[in-house]
Structure 1
């Protein structure tokens, strides 16, 4: 008797579901007549068409605010940017497993150990090799203080300008106990350096060696200081300064001002400075800080503005 009742209720449920899907008496499909489905279909078509139209209008308004050259809305050049001070970067970078480290550590005379550092520099310098007249459709021109680039031009920078020892063919000095570090300023669109124009403008905390270098360059340049973002590298502590040894910069001890501002022009290659440490002390961890110098560059160790820190350890 119980089984018969269960079968009856199951049959009633099947009939009820079939009636819901299609009711031949009321001509309803899934609980709605044909006219009802037509009305709700028209409603949703109009609703989503209006939604899509509203989205398209908002996107069109948004794109009107963008620069056709893909420049950001606010830049250091117009005073609206939060970024007003450039930072510096260095190469080579540590291995992937020590991505947060700033330690350049290698074993002198071990080709397998220096391979990582040499390959890092080789990869970084690739865009600079064999710089041609046209890169990505943009004209590359030779620049100087008297010959600035045009609106659609970028200044040429070639790896051959670096010193003989800071070259790929010389393994960047890592096989000669004179390792090279490459420095560059981070790209900031429309940022223009305010260079030092007289010795009196040089800040008190600028290293004396750099001041002497600037004065020598001024004497070579008919009494005018070259328009440069100057660079200095020193040991952070007295012991580091003792162990670091002689330092050589190439092709200049700084970044020429005519490479700035960066305007997101295709083919632009930022200038680099090769810093060669000649015979740094072995088996000693040397803390090194390199600073960029211009009147509108602020040095902030905590936020790494205007400077870069790394350690050098040669076994």
Structure 2
């Protein structure tokens, strides 16, 4: 019968570990002589220096080929999305509902618009964008002629929104039944909405339901036009002072004072029938005033 292996004590195990760490008989530290430790340390130092150099070179080549102004690949839609303010976006739809008898209710709507229009202040726009743009033509810029190696941007002062600018009427019509909404088209770098600047994009709002409850629709600027001089957009770094052109729409509500509205940016290069993106080229919202 084979004898059982003798169980080693804790002291013996500690002695074995100490011998592994330093073996005075062989002159080894953790199984290797000091000379071999020097060789293996130099090997790994050289290995990681080479790997770090290759990684740094790859990053440098990548950054050298990338433009800081325009992305090489854009996964965004080729047709811009459209948004509406006051931006009371719910889970499924946009409902702009307010009570003309409740000051807190309609003030909430007007405060949203005042906050949104802060960058469009007339004085601020003239200071940030002093360039005298030629209206009615695309503002094509091939060089960075603006200060700090940037490109010029055309001013869009708040006053261009006329009766819906919030200057003459700080309530934007929400204290009565003539509310204003603001339509904004999202930015796409180098996007030109039409093949010719002679036919600029414009906003057109239609009543999908509750036609009898809307007496009149007014657009600011005139005809709801987005002037071509605000296109193309060259990116945040190239045009740090750029602001989106806006169109304000004022509705005169009557009857039940509620309607379902679709506001579309009309242009030959802007699609609006994408069932997978309800905000591409258009925005649909509910407008309701109660008393």
The TM-score range, normalised by the shorter chain, is: 0.7 to 0.9
Task: State the match for 1:30 in structure 2.
Answer: 30
Q: Secondary structure at the match of 1:120?
A: helix
Task: Please list, as runs of the form range in 1=range in 2, the aligned pairs for 1:145-294 lying within 5 A after superposition.
Answer: 145=136, 148=139, 152-167=151-166, 169-194=169-194, 227-237=199-209, 240-252=210-222, 253-264=224-235, 265-282=239-256, 284=258, 286-294=259-267
TM-score normalized by structure 2?
0.82
- RMSD of the alignment, in Å? 2.7
Structure 1: how far apart are the matches of 2:125 and 2:230? 17
Could you tell me how far 1:177 is from its partner in structure 2? Answer: 2.2
Structure 1: how far apart are the matches of 2:245 and 2:95? 24
Deviations 1:68-112 (A, max 9, x none): 4x211156xxxxx773222211111126xx465411122222122
- Stretches of structure 1 lacking an aligned partner (at least 5 in a row): 76-80, 198-225
Could you tell me how far 1:43 is from its partner in structure 2? Answer: 1.4
How many residues are treated as equivalent by the alignment? 269
Could you tell me how far 1:18 is from its partner in structure 2? Answer: 2.0
Question: Higher helix fraction: Structure 1 or Structure 2?
Answer: 1
Task: State the match for 1:18 in structure 2.
Answer: 18
Contact persistence 2:166–2:172 (CA under 8 A): yes
Deviations 1:207-236 (A, max 9, x none): xxxxxxxxxxxxxxxxxxx64212111111
Structure 2: how far apart are the matches of 1:301 and 1:104? 24
Contact persistence 1:196–1:295 (CA under 8 A): no
Deviations 1:216-268 (A, max 9, x none): xxxxxxxxxx642121111113xx22223311111231211121111122211
The structure 2 residue matched to 1:103, chosen from 63, 78, 95, is 95
The structure 1 residue matched to 2:271, chosen from 289, 295, 298, is 298
Q: Secondary structure at the match of 1:144?
A: coil
Could you tell me how far 1:141 is from its partner in structure 2? Answer: 3.2
Contact persistence 2:173–2:180 (CA under 8 A): yes
- Aligned CA distance change for structure 1 residues 139 and 27 (closer, same or farther; 3 Å): farther
Could you tell me how far 1:144 is from its partner in structure 2? Answer: 1.1
